[in-house]
Chain A
Amino acid sequence: MSTLTAEAPVVLSASAEVVAERRRRPGWLRRHGRALAALAVLAGVMFPFLWLVQLAFRPAAGIFDDALLFTPTLEGFASLLQGNFLRSFWNSLAVSTLSTVLSLAIGVPAAYALTRWRFRGRRQVALWILVTRMAPPIAFTIPFFLAFRWLGLQDTLVGLALVYLTFNLAIVIWLMQTFFEAVPPALEEAAYIDGCGVWQAFWRIALPLTAPGLAATAVLCFIFSWNDFFYALILTRTQAVTAPVAIVNFLQYEGWEWAKIAAAGTLVALPVVVFTVLVRGYLVRGLTAGGVKD
Chain B
Amino acid sequence: MASLIAAPAGGWQAERRRAFAFGLAPALAVLLVITLLPAAALLVGSLTPLSLTDPAGTFRFDDPLVNYRHLLGDERFLGSIGTQLQLSVASVALQLGVGLGLALLLDGRSAVLRATRTVFLIPMVLPPIVVALIWKIIYTPDVSPVHRALEAAGWPVRSLIANPDTALWAIAFADTWQWFPFTLLMVLAALQTLPADPVEAASLDGANRWQLFRYIVFPHIRPVLVVCGLFRLIDSFKAFPLIYVLTDGGPGNVTEVTNYYGFIQAFNFSYWGYGSAIAMVILAGVFLLSWGIGKLGWNTHEHPDR
Contact = CB atoms under 8 A, between A and B. Distances in A.
A39 B276 CA distance: 47
Interface stretch (B22-30, B85-93, B161-169): B22-30
Contacts of A247: 129-130, 133
A207 interface: no
A252 B122 CA distance: 26
Nearest to B285: A136
A183 interface: no
A165 to B, nearest CB: 6
A261 B245 CA distance: 13
B77 interface: no
Nearest to A140: B38
Contacts of A129: 31
A162 B37 CA distance: 14
Contacts of B42: 139-140, 142-143
A94 interface: no
B39 interface: yes
A287 interface: yes
Interface string A244-264: 100110010000001001100
Contact of A277 (B20, B21, B118, B136): B118
Given A34-B108, A48-B134, A138 B279 contact: yes
Interface string A279-294: 0100110011011110
A81 interface: no
Sort chain A's interface into a size bin. 35 or more
Interface in A8-41: 8, 11-12, 15, 34-35, 37-39, 41
Contacts of B289: 134
B10 interface: no
Interface string B272-290: 1001101110110011011
A166 B300 contact: no
Interface in A168-202: 169, 173, 177, 181, 197-199, 202
Nearest to A232: B129
Interface stretch (A72-80, A106-114, A209-217): A106-114
A49 B266 contact: no
Interface in B93-143: 102, 105-106, 108, 110, 112-113, 116, 118-130, 133-138, 142-143
Contacts of B276: 142
B137 A35 contact: no
- For chain B, the bracket of interface size reads 35 or more
B30 A169 contact: yes
Contacts of A288: 182, 185-186, 189
A117 B17 contact: yes
A6 interface: no
B41 interface: yes
A237 interface: no
B72 interface: no
Given A35-B112, A107-B27, A131-B287, A46 B298 contact: no
Interface in A115-134: 116-117, 119, 123, 125-132, 134
Interface string A154-174: 000000001101100100010
A134 B233 CA distance: 11
B231 interface: yes
Given A48-B177, A64-B142, A230-B241, A283 B186 contact: no
A125 B28 contact: yes
B204 interface: yes
Interface of B: 16-17, 19-21, 23-24, 26-28, 30-31, 34-35, 37-39, 41-42, 45, 102, 105-106, 108, 110, 112-113, 116, 118-130, 133-138, 142-143, 145, 148, 152, 177, 182, 185-186, 189, 200, 203-204, 227-228, 231, 234, 237-238, 240-241, 244-245, 259, 262-263, 266-267, 272, 275-276, 278-280, 282-283, 286-287, 289-290, 294, 298-303
22 contacts: A12-B200, A39-B116, A45-B120, A49-B123, A52-B133, A64-B142, A106-B27, A113-B24, A114-B24, A128-B35, A136-B286, A140-B35, A142-B276, A145-B272, A169-B30, A198-B16, A233-B244, A265-B130, A272-B126, A284-B185, A288-B189, A293-B298
